[in-house]
Amino acid sequence: MKLKFGTVEENVVTREEFPLEKAKEVLKDEVIAVLGYGVQGPGQALNLKDNGFNVIVGQRKGSKTWDKAVADGWVPGETLFELEEACERGTILQFLLSDAGQIALWPTVKKHLTPGKALYFSHGFGITYKDQTGIEPPKDVDVILVAPKGSGTSLRRMFVEGRGLNSSYAIYQDATGKARDRVVALGIGVGSGYLFETDFYKEVTSDLTGERGTLMGAIQGIFAAQYEVLRANGHSPSEAFNETVEELTQSLMPLVAENGMDWMYANCSTTAQRGALDWWKPFRDASKPVFEKLYNSVKTGKEAAKSIESNSKSDYRAKLEEELKELRESEMWQAGAVVRKLRPENN
Ligand SMILES: NC(=O)c1ccc[n+]([C@@H]2O[C@H](COP(=O)([O-])OP(=O)(O)OC[C@H]3O[C@@H](n4cnc5c(N)ncnc54)[C@H](O)[C@@H]3O)[C@@H](O)[C@H]2O)c1
Ligand SMILES: CC(C)(O)[C@@H](O)C(=O)O
Ligand SMILES: [Mg+2]
Ligand SMILES: [Mg+2]
């Protein structure tokens, strides 16, 4: 259906419009092969299975995630296979390896993309940056995308709770004339709450900007800046953490999620309202140049190059762990660990 967001009209697909039963009818003769069992792999594969689709998992034997797949109920030789065998058996190949990992597996996937199959991504990365990834699908297969707008962990959790994370969908290539039905059916099948339309380029540029920006990079940056200023002015770690992070995640963001920023503002003191209304614009103006620089780095493919380069190194996991350790061991997140334990529901 067409839906207005502010003054702009967009294509949206809801579960009412495209019910699960219809999705099952569309995909009844398909074998959905989920390649990769990292974060999105488990979320999408388990949701598809619980929704009654014919789904198999492809993963490297002997890897930790192979064992995780077995623990999650996938049966070797029946629903769990080596990557190449899954590529052969699947009629829809869900390419859910890490974006860098997709480059290494591409020759194998390509070999098994026989006419009429579908290649499915959850990110516009591989196709948009094809000069860097070498991913150029044959012309006689559908190339489609469903990108859940959140972590695979949330996709699964919300599904189990009977809720649904929203996703974007896109069609890059419609070889069979069935690409739209296939992509929407898959979007509903993986547990999306609703789907909004995009294209591969827009998906990857917005996604890379979002995760580097307000969703992950900018938020940690802003937390750290305020925390450091409070600490430098003699505030205790618990006071600084509560006033920077805990109150935001526990008290105020749920209000924003429920009814918007204006409603959250309306439910704070007049003193807070005055200050927040005065200060949000200076913060916007100070950070906007950084966002512009970030968007440019995404658009020119620099961010893609950096991520391919670092994620393809053999010591990637060890380096990542070191960097996460730095965050975990920072005073702010150490304070956070104590604060989390103090929440009555965690006792
Ligand atoms: N993590 C998320 O929640 C999330 C959210 C939205 C979209 N996506 C997209 O979904 C896709 C999958 O992302 P992810 O975060 O689940 O991936 P991930 O980084 O967790 O990796 C997935 C799997 O790829 C395997 N892998 C990596 N390199 C490999 C190689 N060279 N050969 C064989 N296997 C290899 C890993 O063992 C792992 O099982 C990506 O396109 C990503 O951008 C992810
Ligand atoms: C979960 C995110 C941040 O939305 C996703 O884009 C990812 O890359 O993991
Ligand atoms: Mg992303
Ligand atoms: Mg994202």
Type of residue found at 245: V
Q: How confident is the model at residue 299 (pLDDT cuts 50, 70, 90)?
A: very high
Pocket residue to mutate for ligand 2, from 123, 151, 154, 168, most atoms within 8 A of Cβ = 151
- The pLDDT value recorded for residue 343 is 95
**pLDDT tens digits, one per residue of 268-286:** 999 999 999 999 999 999 9
Using the mean position of ligand 3's atoms as its centre, give its distance from the Cα of residue 345 in Å.
Answer: 31
Separation between Cα atoms, residue 299 and residue 227, nearest integer Å: 32
Nearest to 166 by CA among 190, 200, 185, 202: 190
Asked if 176 and 150 touch (Cβ cutoff 8 Å), the reply is no
Q: What is the mean pLDDT of the chain?
A: 97
**pLDDT tens digits, one per residue of 67-82:** 999 999 999 999 999 9
**Is residue 207 lining ligand 2, measured as CB closer than 6 Å?**
yes
Instruction: Write down how long the chain is.
Output: 347
Residue 268 gets the label, from left (phi > 0), alpha (psi -120 to 50) or beta, of beta
- The pLDDT value recorded for residue 124 is 98
Residue 134 gets the label, from left (phi > 0), alpha (psi -120 to 50) or beta, of left
Asked if 138 and 110 touch (Cβ cutoff 8 Å), the reply is yes
Mean pLDDT of 314-322: 95
**Is residue 215 lining ligand 2, measured as CB closer than 6 Å?**
yes
Positions marked active-site: 123
**Is residue 36 lining ligand 1, measured as CB closer than 6 Å?**
yes
Mean pLDDT of 133-152: 98
Ligand 2 closest atom vs CA 211: 3
Tell me which residues have their CB within 5 A of the ion that is ligand 3: 207, 211
E strand or H helix that includes residue 144: strand 142-148
- The pLDDT value recorded for residue 112 is 98
Separation between Cα atoms, residue 24 and residue 32, nearest integer Å: 12
- The pLDDT value recorded for residue 33 is 98
**Is residue 150 lining ligand 2, measured as CB closer than 6 Å?**
yes
Nearest CA to ligand 1 atom 38: 38
Using the mean position of ligand 4's atoms as its centre, give its distance from the Cα of residue 215 in Å.
Answer: 9
DSSP state of 64: H
Mean pLDDT of 99-110: 97
Instruction: State CA 283 to chain mean position distance.
Output: 27
Nearest to 114 by CA among 81, 91, 85: 91
**pLDDT tens digits, one per residue of 198-255:** 999 999 999 999 999 999 999 999 999 999 999 999 999 999 999 999 999 999 999 9
Please report, to the nearest 10 degrees, the dihedral formed by the alpha carbons of residues 88, 93, 96, 97 taken in order.
30
**Is residue 189 lining ligand 1, measured as CB closer than 6 Å?**
no
Q: Sheet of 118-121: strands edge to edge?
A: 2-5, 8-14, 192-197, 165-173, 142-148, 118-121, 92-95, 32-35, 55-58, 80-81
Nearest CA to ligand 2 atom 8: 211
Task: Enumerate residues 6+ apart whose C-beta is below 8 A from 27.
Answer: 53, 54, 92, 182, 185, 186, 189
Task: Enumerate residues 6+ apart whose C-beta is below 8 A from 344.
Answer: none
Separation between Cα atoms, residue 231 and residue 331, nearest integer Å: 10
Q: How confident is the model at residue 177 (pLDDT cuts 50, 70, 90)?
A: very high
Task: Enumerate residues 6+ apart whose C-beta is below 8 A from 262.
Answer: none
Q: Which ligand has its closest atom nearest to the C-alpha of 152? A: 1
Ligand 2 closest atom vs CA 149: 4
Pocket residue to mutate for ligand 2, from 125, 155, 165, 215, most atoms within 8 A of Cβ = 215
Q: How confident is the model at residue 304 (pLDDT cuts 50, 70, 90)?
A: very high
Distances (CA, A) of 202 to 26, 68, 198, 199, 253: 27, 33, 6, 5, 27
- Binding-site residue positions: 207, 211, 243, 247, 269
Percent of the chain residues past pLDDT 70, beyond the cut: 100
Task: Enumerate residues 6+ apart whose C-beta is below 8 A from 224.
Answer: 330, 332
Mean pLDDT of 27-37: 98
Ligand 1 closest atom vs CA 149: 6
ipTM: 0.98
pTM: 0.97
Strands 92-95 and 32-35: parallel
Strands 165-173 and 142-148: antiparallel
Pocket residue to mutate for ligand 2, from 207, 298, 320, most atoms within 8 A of Cβ = 207
Using the mean position of ligand 4's atoms as its centre, give its distance from the Cα of residue 68 in Å.
Answer: 23
Ligand 1 closest atom vs CA 151: 3
**Beta-bridge mates of residue 92:** 32, 118
Residue 6 gets the label, from left (phi > 0), alpha (psi -120 to 50) or beta, of left
Structure-block tokens of residue 57: 């998992």
Say whether 176 sits in a helix, a strand or coil: coil
Q: How confident is the model at residue 347 (pLDDT cuts 50, 70, 90)?
A: confident
Ligand 1 closest atom vs CA 148: 6
